[in-house]
Amino acid sequence: MKKEVQKLLEKADHALEVAESLLKQGFAQDAASKLYYAMFYATQALLKSEGIDVVKHSAVESALGYHFAKTGRIEPKYHRMLINARKVREIVDYDIQEEIIEPTEILKSEDGKEFVAVMKAMILKT
């Protein structure tokens, strides 16, 4: 496994750990942001493992859909999970007009863990 891919997976795992800690402390909105980043880093790792080098959030999201969901290499639900997670993160991080009381109702810790596990399994297949 490439060193860069491994580093991204480590970042994904770390973001999951931080999200769990934030949830336990009652900081659901901050946890939702960290869960998204765990998914984002895991997706970047998968893409880099196949020589696809994208950095922008929208490009990572699009590349996952194009190279993996549309081709049937992953279930489309994972692409949708990443899209939804990004929307939640943008709301909790930037939108002061729209209040999400419990973003974990939309973005659950288990979803983040499942997503990262699927990306890791895909990397091991490559």
Q: What is the DSSP letter of 95?
A: -
Which are the contacts of 50, defined by CB distance < 8 A and separation ≥ 6? Answer: 67, 126
pLDDT digits (tens, 9 = 90+) for 47-105: 999 999 999 999 999 999 999 999 999 999 999 999 999 998 988 888 766 555 554 45
Query: Which residue ranges form the domains of the chain, and what is each CATH number?
Result: 3-125 (1.20.120.330)
Half-sphere exposure of 59 (CA within 13 A, CB side): 8
Helices 28-49 and 57-64, packing angle to 10 deg = 60
pLDDT digits (tens, 9 = 90+) for 26-63: 888 889 899 999 999 999 999 999 999 999 999 999 99
Give me the pLDDT at residue 93, please: 83
Q: How far apart are CA 80 and CA 125, in angstroms?
A: 22
Give me the pLDDT at residue 104, please: 45
Q: Is 38 helix (H, G, I), strand (E, B) or coil?
A: helix
